[in-house]
Amino acid sequence: MARLGPMELVLILGIALVVFGPKKLPEIGKAMGQTIKQFKDHANKVSEEPLEDKTSVLKEEESLDA
């Protein structure tokens, strides 16, 4: 798959400007940014949970061995 160059990005932004209008674009950009941030936060939370579970199990095993 080819990467997007500067001309392609300009074309996409131009089409978005025509379709949504200049007043809606900042709102759409803000909503997309919040969505991406929430997705990353939840992805990090999910990836950290198994690590926390493993460390708590290891600590319990060490306390039982002592």
Q: Which domain holds residue 30?
A: 6-65
Check: pTM over 0.75? Answer yes or no. Answer: no
Q: Is residue 1 a part of any domain in this protein?
A: no
pLDDT at 58 over 90: no
pLDDT score for 51: 57
Q: Is residue 46 part of a domain?
A: yes
Does 49 fall in a domain? Answer: yes
> Taking CA 51 as the corner, what is the angle to CA 55 and CA 65, rounded to the nearest 5 degrees?
15
pLDDT tens track for 5-49: 999 989 998 998 899 898 888 898 899 999 999 999 988 887 766
Q: Is 80 exceeded by the pLDDT of residue 1?
A: no
Distance CA 13, CA 40 (A): 24
Structure confidence at residue 64 (pLDDT):
59
Nearest-angstrom CA–CA distance, 30 and 36: 10
Q: How many domains does the chain have?
A: 1
Is 50 inside a domain boundary? yes
